[in-house]
Amino acid sequence: MTTMELAATLLLAATATAAAGQTPAGGSSSASWWVCDTPAPTVYMSAVIDAKPQFESEEMRNAFAQALAVKYGYAGATHCAAALKSSSSLEQLESGREGAAAALRMAGTKVVETGWTYDPSTVQFFYVCAATARSTEGQKPVVALFTKPIVIGAGAGRRLKHAWSWHLKALRGTSSHRSKRCELLPATGAEAAAKAFGENWGPDVVVTPVEWDGWDDTMGGHSIAEAPAASASASPQQFICDAWAFPPRLAPIHYWTGLFPSLFSRVELALKWRDRLQSIPRITGPVLSIWCADYTHSGASAERLEKLREADAKESGAKLVRVRVDGLAAPTR
């Protein structure tokens, strides 16, 4: 057993059902306590982290590595272990963490208790997205690769992967894409890692850079390239448009319009909503999950819909920003 595995085992022994490295489905932290550490010869250990459901475990490890690089000059591996809140308490986890540190010291390992805890509003992450496909003009596989790292704030990983899948649908000259993925780059040396990522495909692969800024191309369930023609509505329908921005080193921002009437189709409205977001000068970084939904027959009041978004923003730590609906309401037909 490695030093890091020993620390994780001792830490999680305080609960009956927790397992080292446990991550609920979807890669989020669920309702969990987390502790991060590193392997020997020097074990850097975090405080017990009260994880929110939207936290992504991979990003948490990366954020811990960022903090260690800045404060201690550490550039090695990091590890985070989870224990479900339903089967553990903060006191149990604190005791387990302290027991792990004591056992490691008794074994002659240097332990640095950093006191670090995860604050998503203070970090930024670097992703690179790629996919393989067969060229329509030959038999060699083509790699559609975004060679520059996409800089984005915490909590955007899964949304970014979804947006990348939709963006691939708009690409010409390739057939169906395989191995679609967005990978989180190391906490240090992201540019070099992205370059290496684009070079390690083997001699039979043609690497094709793709210019993509990370913005969501999903418009009401269609890529921009496949969006159906707009159709006029006989009477105004009631819509709300939403979008999420993940600016680096800031809390996520949930943009929304409030309930408003429009004669535009849902897809046409989503395209206009995206244009509206792009005109907001303070937005930095990609905007994801761009969506307009028809609430005409939902039975929910405007006040109820607003309270739901306020509650979601509070839970996720996001800032809720209402955007004026200029250009989104009923057009002249």
Would you call 254 helix, strand, or coil by DSSP? strand
Q: Looking at residues 127-152, what average pLDDT do you find?
A: 73
Examine the pLDDT at 12 and tell me if it is beyond 80: no
Top-confidence residue, 167 or 7: 167
Angle formed by the axes of helices 90-106 and 3-12, to 10°?
150
pLDDT given at position 111: 95
Q: Which two tokens stand for residue 172?
A: 């010409």
Examine the pLDDT at 169 and tell me if it is beyond 80: no
Q: Looking at residues 245-259, what average pLDDT do you find?
A: 92
299: left (phi over 0), alpha (psi -120 to 50) or beta: left
pLDDT digits (tens, 9 = 90+) for 82-120: 888 888 888 988 888 898 899 999 999 999 999 999 998
Q: Report the mean per-residue pLDDT for the chain.
A: 80
pLDDT given at position 222: 53
Q: How far apart are CA 75 and CA 165, in angstroms?
A: 32
Examine the pLDDT at 166 and tell me if it is beyond 70: yes
CA angle 173, 179, 185 (to 5 degrees): 110
Q: Which of 96-105, 113-122, 160-169, 234-243 has the lowest mean pLDDT?
A: 160-169
**Of 261, 231, 255, nearest to 322 (Cα)?**
255
Share of the chain above pLDDT 90, in %: 31
Residue 140 pLDDT level (bands cut at 50, 70, 90): low
pLDDT given at position 88: 81
Q: Which of 156-170, 173-187, 268-282 has the lowest mean pLDDT?
A: 173-187
Share of the chain above pLDDT 70, in %: 77
Is the pTM here over 0.75, yes or no?
A: yes
Q: What are the beta bridge partners of residue 112?
A: 44
| Amino acid identity for residue 38 in this structure | T
pLDDT digits (tens, 9 = 90+) for 53-74: 677 889 999 999 999 999 999 9
pLDDT digits (tens, 9 = 90+) for 185-220: 998 888 788 878 777 777 777 777 778 888 887 655
Residue 16 pLDDT level (bands cut at 50, 70, 90): very low
Top-confidence residue, 195 or 38: 38
